[in-house]
Structure 1
């Protein structure tokens, strides 16, 4: 096998990852952070591209070849695995903690993040030593790299399979539901109340932190320059942190029991209004306002302020997306043919040509949205549902002695490396997409969700760490699922075979754990998953959409109509935020001027 495809597998993901990060990240994201995230994300895609190449090389190698792979493929897997291991478990968590740290300099932020990471890894090291001693006494011995590989892959495999079980059903079902604008609007009305509460609670928690900041700032000055530098930083961050979010000022005003005023006056009275609601349980780890003014205490307070402001921005981001999606799906119900563009009579030929092209483009867009969009989405949803069925069939019968995997059978019948690589990469890409879309769809991870041009540094680091953490276990599960004879001869499987040195986790667990994926698929398909989470009080989208009786859902829809209608009206009036006047709680009732083609009393 030539090195050209391997080089392409390493280089092609770099521009793709850069483009994805550019479309996701905030314009203010650090220039230092983007290259690190690009490398992490590109390594994830590299692992996905390397596996088909590895399979094709093993299939083309002679039957008596030992090994069936080249040193270049083996080196690529080793480099990719251990670099991603370092990124996911050390570097990216360290960067994420540094961004959210309250110290003033980069060096002090790194030191604080290292101390926090060291406490976690000391505990993990103690557990690892105990397991290592136990395995050394009960087996022929195991080395540390194999132990790290086995437990890292076991953790990633379990998480990947749980997310895969959800995504295999959720991805085609969501695509099918997108074909119906009324269904999508109703779902957003159901979610609006919860997301509005999340935003309101985030603002309340921020005000509680600001109360402590104001109290600390009013205390007498000290003779310690570092303490005064911290207090100045806290004052500046408190005033400027969320000053650009009009939505926050409206909610602060309603909490204080008055109409929204200017940002500065509203911000200056936030602390006093927070004092009147001290019974509100704040999520942030607040300090005692009368604590000793030391750099460590002030750094902790600054960290609390950063965390509270970050939570507010994330909540505002999520609410903005909900408002925009509601407006989009509502507009699909009242489409009308576009008005033709008529250039001035004395315009040039080029102007007439551009106007004609614009009219044709607008007409084609209208025809697609009005007539072809629904059928296209349902066709793709049906194809993905068939692919989901094939994946589940292969996962379900993975542990049988006979090969029942359709993917492995098709690959065995393929002729040529190109067709084999295409057959190998298609289901792997689909499974990867199901896992990653589930990671950010579940509201368990919602605070770190990714939004177009609105994702901050901590969210991007969180996403990258989990992407690289799950890709190798997912590839391992994929090879086991294929039951393709050449799989056992690949360089990747040779790397993963070191897991066999750890009983249970490296052997039978990998074979029978996919049954959890199948069970979760059925639970998601019949909405058992959402109802179970709702009964447990876990706040997820599925629990909100599928939990509760018809009367409760109807009440949520009515409340969502009021909240989102107010937000849409504020946006149409030119407000800076999606809901400059605030959400539904605390505001006066307004007329619901909503498109009445939907039945909002039914879900």
Structure 2
């Protein structure tokens, strides 16, 4: 990336740059090792994904070096780390065009290639090209329209094609980067503030448990459906299936069905259910079945990993909370698969308690305050960089030296610039991981699907260049002297449309910032009721759930976690699997053509607010250190639902702890109290009588309809109608003469 034949004057800077690049390479490898098994992952995945992460990370190094190297004075000592113009230009060209090729061509094709269900490489490649055909049609169509616009505006053809391609790629990436970065600038400090409250963190974990458990159960059932379909397919020995026996055997090897499963499939097929398997087996059908089976396996792995991580967080948080009484904190023996810092520690139980219970919350609050201030500075700089660049906070934090009324970036300014870029990229990339995308893509520790790895790597590569150039525009006129501006910036500003877009569009960062800050995602979801706005409202939903203690959502999660930690859920799942494998009929049917019995699971009783069967001491919240579920009710979908209203019937009301309401401010608490007071008031009688017309007086029997019987007494102590004048009141409706 950097030429070795450098002038002696820049040798120290070149050595520092190489050391930093080596450090970036090690960090990228550790990230890949965290999400992928390096030994079993094929090279066609590791190499492109490595460069898709390494090249954007190297831009964090190139931008400060470019700013210092483009100084307007000859004071080399004040530049910090610098390189000559030729080296910088070659570095930017290699970095940009490799990132461009990875983003728009290599990673999308390889992602669909790895997701294809075909066996041979040629079939996988053709399937990948077919899947990306629509994507490339949109890209090339937009490029053609942009090319026509540039030709009309600029009037030359020599630079029109390259400038159009680079400008369109930058504009599309900037739209995505501004939206994601705006969300991340709010969510990162807010998450730190919330996690500083240990009791609130535990309750949010418990509130998430029912939803995560339900998704895990759904993933297991979907995978089981596909495995049964493969088992039924493996029974076919003749006809069109005989041409694909090797393929079918490979699919059978991918499943985890017991030996008795094919016999059960024959019973299901004989029960009159329509089989989902076509009469004629084709290559396309087997490819789609292979794709669906691989996706289902990764989906189950994703939710099982998420559920295990939630259990680990719940146990750790509960242990920290319980240590307030004993002043000692012990997480127990670390697992063999734990990291180095988890297996080796210098803390004693008391110092561990001081660190986790007292120091960590204050450190989180301090870091959240610093990042909140940084977020405000970034948003402010986005708003003023077009009209008033002199008041940009980031500009003054990076440019510390003024020589002959011109800016000079030193070593301190380079470090601060790198920190600004790291935070901006982290805000955007964290938002990418929170977005719920198609196909259930997710990053799973040591088991990330290949297609998911390609997709997330492509997002990192796509966001790197727009965020890098967007940061440089914060620095005023000094960025116009850089090599990066000469390489990319002048092509973006080639037309008036590109120039105004570059300066005005970042001001729309207020939209995602306000939407995340005020919880607009959750409000729109509740009003509209569509699932499309689920993308970024998890924090708002969790916060709203944690405030609604009366609904019992977090109680259900607490009971569910405790039952899982006590081993009850594992036994229930094993019993359900046994019942499914041994059953020969009855139960509910699904699209896979199999019947399943409904497993009735009684609800665990509770006495004095404690969980039946729980172990261990209780906490100030009235729960054991391992929090869990009271029981599951039968469900028509043949699995225990993690969140049902029937489970709350008959459950003893648990009083919220005094410090559970710390998340509310004064106005929220006052509003809740006023609302509860108004809701518990009885409607006045005069207000109930409104709208019922003019009533007859009492002596004409006006209270008959209200009294309900002819013998009811009124306020006068007599009968409610005129029959009392004729000796009435015998209750039989007759008049006595």
The Cα of 1:560 is off from its aligned counterpart by 2.0
Partner of 1:210: 227
The Cα of 1:457 is off from its aligned counterpart by 2.5
Partner of 1:188: 205
2:116 is the counterpart of 1:116: no
Partner of 2:475: 482
Q: Using the alignment, how far apart are the partners of 1:53 and 1:7 within structure 2?
A: 12
Q: Using the alignment, how far apart are the partners of 2:114 and 2:216 within structure 1?
A: 22
Deviations 1:65-94 (A, max 9, x none): xxx960111111111111011112222222
Alignment of 1:217-228 (within 5 A): 217-222=234-239, 227-228=244-245
Quickly say closer, same or farther: Cα 1:490–1:589, change in 2 above 3 A: farther
Q: Using the alignment, how far apart are the partners of 1:89 and 1:108 within structure 2?
A: 21
Deviations 1:219-250 (A, max 9, x none): 3424787522222122222x24xx7xxxxxxx
Q: Using the alignment, how far apart are the partners of 1:24 and 1:77 within structure 2?
A: 29
Give secondary structure in 2 for the equivalent of 1:597.
Answer: coil
Partner of 1:125: 140
8 A contact 1:190–1:553 mirrored in 2 = no
Select which of 88, 112, 123 maps to 1:73. Answer: 88
2:176 is the counterpart of 1:159: yes
Q: Using the alignment, how far apart are the partners of 2:561 and 2:266 within structure 1?
A: 28
8 A contact 2:400–2:409 mirrored in 1 = no
8 A contact 1:204–1:274 mirrored in 2 = no
Partner of 2:715: none
Deviations 1:355-377 (A, max 9, x none): xx977555433321132122111
Larger proportion of helix: 1
Partner of 2:249: 232
Per the normalisation by structure 1, the TM-score is 0.80
Q: Using the alignment, how far apart are the partners of 2:29 and 2:228 within structure 1?
A: 41
Partner of 1:366: 353
Quickly say closer, same or farther: Cα 1:306–1:191, change in 2 above 3 A: same
2:509 is the counterpart of 1:517: yes
Select which of 261, 275, 287 maps to 1:299. Answer: 287
**Unmatched segments (≥5 aa) in structure 2:** 1-9, 76-82, 331-343, 402-407, 577-598, 606-610, 622-655, 664-737
Instruction: Give the superposed CA RMSD.
Output: 3.7
The Cα of 1:158 is off from its aligned counterpart by 1.1
Number of residue-to-residue matches in the alignment: 548
Alignment of 1:143-542 (within 5 A): 143-222=160-239, 227-237=244-254, 239-240=255-256, 289-335=277-323, 336-337=326-327, 361-414=348-401, 417-444=410-437, 447-483=440-476, 485-497=477-489, 498-501=491-494, 504=497, 506-536=498-528, 537-538=530-531, 539=534, 540-542=537-539
Give secondary structure in 2 for the equivalent of 1:589.
Answer: coil
Alignment of 1:36-115 (within 5 A): 36-59=48-71, 61=73, 70-115=85-130
Per the normalisation by structure 2, the TM-score is 0.67
Give secondary structure in 1 for the equivalent of 2:566.
Answer: helix
Give secondary structure in 1 for the equivalent of 2:387.
Answer: coil
The Cα of 1:436 is off from its aligned counterpart by 1.2
Deviations 1:198-231 (A, max 9, x none): 2233233334433443443333424787522222
The Cα of 1:162 is off from its aligned counterpart by 0.9
The Cα of 1:53 is off from its aligned counterpart by 0.8
Q: Using the alignment, how far apart are the partners of 2:60 and 2:245 within structure 1?
A: 51
The Cα of 1:190 is off from its aligned counterpart by 2.2
8 A contact 1:102–1:303 mirrored in 2 = yes
Select which of 541, 544, 569 maps to 1:544. Answer: 541
Runs of at least 4 residues off by over 6 Å: 270-276, 579-582, 600-603
Q: Using the alignment, how far apart are the partners of 1:436 and 1:214 within structure 2?
A: 41
Higher RCO (C-alpha 8 Å, min separation 6):
1
Question: For structure 1, which segment, 82-91 or 465-474, has the greater mean C-alpha deviation from structure 2 after superposition?
Answer: 82-91
The Cα of 1:171 is off from its aligned counterpart by 0.7
Q: Using the alignment, how far apart are the partners of 2:268 and 2:431 within structure 1?
A: 39
Quickly say closer, same or farther: Cα 1:359–1:580, change in 2 above 3 A: farther
Partner of 2:31: 20
The Cα of 1:385 is off from its aligned counterpart by 1.3
Q: Using the alignment, how far apart are the partners of 2:314 and 2:542 within structure 1?
A: 16
Quickly say closer, same or farther: Cα 1:154–1:224, change in 2 above 3 A: same
Quickly say closer, same or farther: Cα 1:290–1:371, change in 2 above 3 A: same
Quickly say closer, same or farther: Cα 1:91–1:312, change in 2 above 3 A: same
Q: Using the alignment, how far apart are the partners of 1:480 and 1:495 within structure 2?
A: 14
Q: Using the alignment, how far apart are the partners of 1:185 and 1:264 within structure 2?
A: 43
The Cα of 1:172 is off from its aligned counterpart by 1.1
The Cα of 1:469 is off from its aligned counterpart by 0.8
Select which of 2, 7, 10 maps to 2:18. Answer: 7
Q: Using the alignment, how far apart are the partners of 2:445 and 2:67 within structure 1?
A: 35
Partner of 1:568: 565
Partner of 2:588: none
The Cα of 1:420 is off from its aligned counterpart by 1.8
Quickly say closer, same or farther: Cα 1:552–1:176, change in 2 above 3 A: closer
Give secondary structure in 2 for the equivalent of 1:403.
Answer: helix
Give secondary structure in 1 for the equivalent of 2:70.
Answer: helix
Q: Which structure's CA Rg is the greater one?
A: 2
Q: Using the alignment, how far apart are the partners of 2:505 and 2:202 within structure 1?
A: 37
8 A contact 2:206–2:558 mirrored in 1 = yes
Give secondary structure in 2 for the equivalent of 1:30.
Answer: coil
The Cα of 1:113 is off from its aligned counterpart by 1.8
The Cα of 1:45 is off from its aligned counterpart by 0.6
Q: Using the alignment, how far apart are the partners of 1:271 and 1:97 within structure 2?
A: 35
Give secondary structure in 2 for the equivalent of 1:92.
Answer: helix
2:551 is the counterpart of 1:558: no
The Cα of 1:532 is off from its aligned counterpart by 2.4
Q: Using the alignment, how far apart are the partners of 1:202 and 1:181 within structure 2?
A: 31
Give secondary structure in 2 for the equivalent of 1:177.
Answer: helix
8 A contact 1:396–1:515 mirrored in 2 = yes
